[in-house]
């Protein structure tokens, strides 16, 4: 190991070859004791809420390979110095944190970025996040979150790319490229972590952490693909999920972590458990005690124990009594050391403390955040072309509890220790209309009925709740403010702590008195625009019929207020599309477009309603989104009516801007296999492209349908197959596309 201490301002060294990495790892292993090896398998918490000895003391003894929940450059260097100068094997630490949608410059939440249907947005966002995080001294992020989520009640739907595996694959690969760059040694980048492997989004009832029951076909056709895509994009690490998958906790699940991840996919990096998850194998009623938990997690394939302290307590004993072999430990340690070698940490363990301020102030980071927010927003309704609003407006009211909330604008999953600093909607509109009167009234506050443990860390949740009288007065002030305006912008939705971990909901209604306030304002008869800030689909049935314009802005990040104003006042034409279905009611969840057909499909002569007390169809379908212009999609052609198994055809269609302003359309390709070895979903997304078109302009989109798109994992056959069967093909602007062609796959 180099004795020369350099900082991360040093020039990047060329990537070492596999053989070089292996040789360096072996050399290190040769001089490590069992305790130090187990130390490398141990991630400790740097935050006060984590019990146990002081990090300095653990690190000095070589008892930790990584530190999480610390966000302090100076302290990173202090701890790193202890690791590389005082610990016995002098192995540098990996500093890890959840950098989910930005470090200091906050980007739209991942669900929003998926709404852009533009993977390059996510790639650039995560590259900026990586650059800032690396400048802060971080090496490793716990992202991207790749759980497909079809149940809008589940709070963590906000962290992923939504309900669809095809879109999920594109977003997964893009985020890995963004975080990591071309290799693990890339400067200004960090190692990514594909999480939570696997099936976490299918928690029973949408209740976070609840058990998951998923047949293998569902796992392989729907839930695995984004993870495999991350792996193919070179992701350095995986995180095992918390919950039981088919009665085996994911963090003790050999099928997931050994058979599939390493066996079938050949993953060479390392797996970390979710926080405390190794210890939780006992709580979950799977492992007998801590010793059994350590044994089962390690044997299942968890290399690193996140913060539960179970590995350091029990692994040595398990080796000493022969339950585990030294080889088992060595095999777990090697990929961790390999990541450190590849990252160049031995050469450059420290961080230049003067760099962060300059990096987070780079104007291009804010520019990227604004662009990402603009491209992520989805126009859900625009009756009578109320939008875009005129910049000549003189008197605008901005109403709602989220209109001036930095927390709600930046959204859930803030970096540990981050202070929200977003441009709010009120600020964005004021900046856009410097000469106008822009009045703001929040109306009644909104808050969770039941706080989570995470709320103890959120200043918002510590505020004294409004009394009913205060709420009523706030409501009246808001209505009076709206009454005196020419146009009202209502900013409603969810607080940052209403989506994310431990933030599931039984209802998808607007929380608190927001709908009541909306109704009171709409009754005034003014033009009303509803801007939604939220981390999941909401059941906004009343608004969808009564509010002329609705913009789904999600949780848009640091530049959110500016991006919203850009769209409301026509500087930007919205072009995002929903990556999730909007159900009419929370009780309709899970609702997603790629369901199998039934014996009584909609439109059939003997159709039977799914519910008798309300339409079960989506309020807004997957893939939906409007624009300030109009488009037509025509001339669908499949290059041949038949294709042989294993061969490909080309699908083309013409997309024309039929309106009068430049705008974006996302052409979407869907297929359906009509019969075969298994029932297949009535529609499956198999291609998309976001296009910018001038008025009158036509572009031709070209998609490929080949074995990758036309195969599936067959429950009946127990393997991947491509059936020689007939397929429907559609291209259109959302999952209800009607432009249709036939394709027959033949032997």
Tell me which residues touch ligand NOJ (CB under 6 A): 98, 142, 195, 274-275, 501
Smallest gap from Cβ 111 to ligand NOJ, in A, equals: 15
Q: Which residue's CB is nearer to ligand NOJ, number 111 or number 510?
A: 111
Q: Which residue's CB is nearer to ligand NOJ, number 195 or number 432?
A: 195
Q: Which residue has the tokens 């109704």?
A: 519
Smallest gap from Cβ 336 to ligand NOJ, in A, equals: 17
CA 583/CA 660 separation, integer angstroms: 32
CA 113/CA 160 separation, integer angstroms: 9
CA 385/CA 627 separation, integer angstroms: 10
Are 703 and 686 within 8 A, CB to CB? yes
DSSP-derived pairing of the beta strands 248-249 and 244-245: antiparallel
Smallest gap from Cβ 156 to ligand NOJ, in A, equals: 8
Lateral strand order in the sheet of 631-638: 631-638, 649-657, 698-705
Q: Which residue's CB is nearer to ligand NOJ, number 496 or number 517?
A: 496
Q: Which of 463, 460, 402 is nearest to 427 (CA)?
A: 402
- Residue 677 gets which letter from DSSP? S
Question: Which residues are within 8 A (CB) of 182 and not within 5 positions of it... i.e. 6 or more apart?
Answer: none
Q: Which residue's CB is nearer to ligand NOJ, number 62 or number 226?
A: 226
Q: What is residue 697's three-state secondary structure?
A: coil
Helix, strand, coil percent values for the chain (each to nearest 5): 35, 20, 45
Question: Can 247 be counted among the known catalytic residues?
Answer: no
Smallest gap from Cβ 142 to ligand NOJ, in A, equals: 3
Region label for 586, one of left (φ > 0), alpha (ψ between -120 and 50) or beta (otherwise): alpha
Smallest gap from Cβ 416 to ligand NOJ, in A, equals: 8
Q: Which residue's CB is nearer to ligand NOJ, number 24 or number 195?
A: 195
Asked if the bond preceding 198 is cis, omega within 30° of 0, the reply is yes
Tokens of 325: 């072999």
Smallest gap from Cβ 547 to ligand NOJ, in A, equals: 35
CA 740/CA 730 separation, integer angstroms: 5
Helical ranges in 7-68 per DSSP H: 18-30, 34-40, 55-60
Strand partners, 701: 653
Asked if the bond preceding 590 is cis, omega within 30° of 0, the reply is yes
519, HSE (Cβ side, Cα atoms, 13 Å): 8
Please name the helix (run of DSSP H) or strand (run of DSSP E) that holds residue 338, with its range, or none.
Answer: helix 326-343
Catalytic residue among 118, 164, 274, 305: 274
Q: Which residue has the tokens 């490590």?
A: 32
Lateral strand order in the sheet of 528-533: 378-382, 549-552, 528-533, 487-493, 395-399, 437-441
Q: Which residue's CB is nearer to ligand NOJ, number 48 or number 747?
A: 48
Smallest gap from Cβ 740 to ligand NOJ, in A, equals: 41
Are 243 and 199 within 8 A, CB to CB? yes
Q: Which residue's CB is nearer to ligand NOJ, number 240 or number 673?
A: 240
Give the CA dihedral 526, 532, 538, 544, nearest 10 degrees: 30
Smallest gap from Cβ 49 to ligand NOJ, in A, equals: 11
Q: Which residue's CB is nearer to ligand NOJ, number 193 or number 373?
A: 193
Name the residue number minimizing CB distance to ligand NOJ. 142
Q: Which residue's CB is nearer to ligand NOJ, number 194 or number 538?
A: 194
Region label for 676, one of left (φ > 0), alpha (ψ between -120 and 50) or beta (otherwise): left
Are 391 and 432 within 8 A, CB to CB? yes
CA 204/CA 154 separation, integer angstroms: 9
Whole-angstrom Cα Rg for the chain = 26
Q: Which residue's CB is nearer to ligand NOJ, number 174 or number 275?
A: 275
Phi, psi of 410 (to 5 degrees): -75, -35
Are 47 and 456 within 8 A, CB to CB? no
Annotated catalytic sites, by residue? Answer: 274
């Amino acid at each position: 190991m180099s004795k020369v201490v350099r900082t991360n301002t040093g020039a990047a060294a060329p990537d070492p070859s596999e053989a070089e990495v292996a040789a360096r790892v072996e050399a290190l292993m040769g001089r490590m004791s069992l305790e130090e090896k187990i130390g490398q398998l141990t991630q400790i918490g740097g935050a006060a809420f984590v019990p146990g000895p002081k990090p300095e003391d653990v690190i000095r003894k070589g008892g930790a390979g990584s530190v999480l929940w610390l966000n302090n450059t100076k302290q990173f260097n202090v701890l790193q110095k202890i690791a590389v100068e005082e610990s016995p094997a002098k192995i540098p630490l990996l500093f890890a944190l959840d950098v989910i949608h930005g470090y200091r410059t906050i980007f739209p939440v991942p669900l929003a970025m998926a709404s852009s249907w533009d993977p390059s947005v996510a790639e650039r966002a995560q590259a900026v996040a990586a650059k800032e995080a690396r400048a802060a001294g971080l090496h490793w992020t716990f992202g991207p979150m790749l759980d497909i989520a079809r149940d809008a009640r589940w709070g963590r739907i906000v962290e992923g790319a939504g309900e669809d595996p095809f879109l999920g694959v594109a977003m997964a690969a893009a985020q890995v490229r963004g975080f990591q760059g071309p290799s693990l040694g890339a400067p200004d980048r960090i190692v990514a972590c594909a999480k939570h492997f696997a099936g976490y989004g299918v928690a029973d009832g949408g209740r976070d952490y609840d058990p998951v029951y998923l047949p293998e076909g569902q796992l392989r056709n729907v839930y695995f693909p984004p993870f495999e895509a991350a792996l193919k994009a070179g992701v350095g690490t995986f995180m095992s999920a918390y919950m039981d998958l088919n009665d085996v906790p994911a963090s003790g699940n050999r099928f997931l972590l050994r058979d599939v991840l390493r066996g079938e996919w050949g993953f060479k990096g390392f797996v970390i458990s979710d926080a405390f998850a190794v210890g939780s194998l006992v709580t979950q009623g799977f492992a007998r005690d801590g010793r059994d938990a350590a044994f089962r997690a390690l044997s299942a394939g968890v290399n690193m124990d996140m913060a539960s302290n179970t590995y350091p307590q029990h692994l040595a004993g398990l080796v000493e009594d022969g339950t585990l072999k030294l080889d088992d430990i060595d095999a777990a340690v090697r990929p961790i050391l390999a990541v450190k070698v590849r990252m160049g940490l031995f050469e450059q363990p420290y961080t230049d403390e003067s760099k962060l301020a300059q990096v987070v102030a780079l104007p291009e980071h804010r520019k990227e955040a604004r662009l990402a927010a603009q491209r992520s927003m989805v126009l859900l309704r625009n009756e009578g072309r109320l939008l875009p609003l005129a910049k000549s407006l003189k008197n605008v009211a901005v109403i709602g509890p989220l209109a001036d909330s930095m927390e709600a604008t930046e959204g859930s999953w803030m970096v540990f220790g981050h202070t929200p600093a977003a441009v709010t909607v009120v600020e964005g509109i004021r900046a856009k209309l410097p000469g106008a009167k822009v009045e703001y009234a929040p109306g009644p506050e909104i808050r969770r009925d039941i706080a989570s443990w995470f709320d103890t860390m959120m200043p918002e949740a510590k505020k004294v709740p409004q009394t009913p009288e205060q709420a009523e007065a706030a409501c009246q002030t808001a209505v009076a403010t709206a009454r005196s305006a020419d146009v009202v912008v209502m900013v409603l939705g969810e607080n940052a702590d209403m989506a994310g971990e431990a933030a599931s909901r039984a209802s998808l209604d607007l929380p608190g008195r927001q709908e009541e306030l909306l109704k009171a304002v709409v009754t005034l008869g003014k033009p009303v625009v509803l801007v939604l800030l939220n981390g999941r689909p909401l059941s906004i049935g009343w608004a969808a019929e009564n509010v002329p314009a609705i913009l789904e802005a999600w949780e848009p990040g640091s530049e959110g207020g500016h991006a919203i104003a850009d769209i409301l006042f026509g500087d930007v034409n919205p072009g995002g599309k929903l990556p999730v279905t909007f159900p009419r009611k929370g009780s309709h969840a899970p609702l997603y477009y790629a369901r199998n057909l039934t014996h009584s499909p909609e439109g059939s002569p003997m159709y039977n309603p799914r519910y008798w007390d309300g339409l079960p169809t989506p309020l807004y379908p997957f893939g939906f989104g409007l624009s300030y212009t109009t488009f037509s999609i025509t001339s669908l052609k499949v290059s041949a009516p038949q294709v042989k198994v294993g061969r490909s055809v080309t699908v083309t269609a013409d997309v024309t801007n039929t309106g009068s302003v430049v705008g974006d359309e996302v052409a979407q390709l869907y297929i359906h296999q009509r019969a075969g070895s298994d029932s297949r979903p009535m529609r499956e997304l198999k291609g998309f492209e976001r296009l910018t078109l001038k008025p009158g302009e036509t572009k031709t989109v070209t998609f490929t349908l080949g074995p990758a798109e036309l195969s599936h994992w067959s429950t009946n056959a127990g393997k991947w197959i491509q059936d020689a069967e007939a397929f429907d093909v559609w291209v259109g602007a959302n999952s209800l596309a009607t432009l249709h062609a036939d394709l027959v796959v033949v032997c």
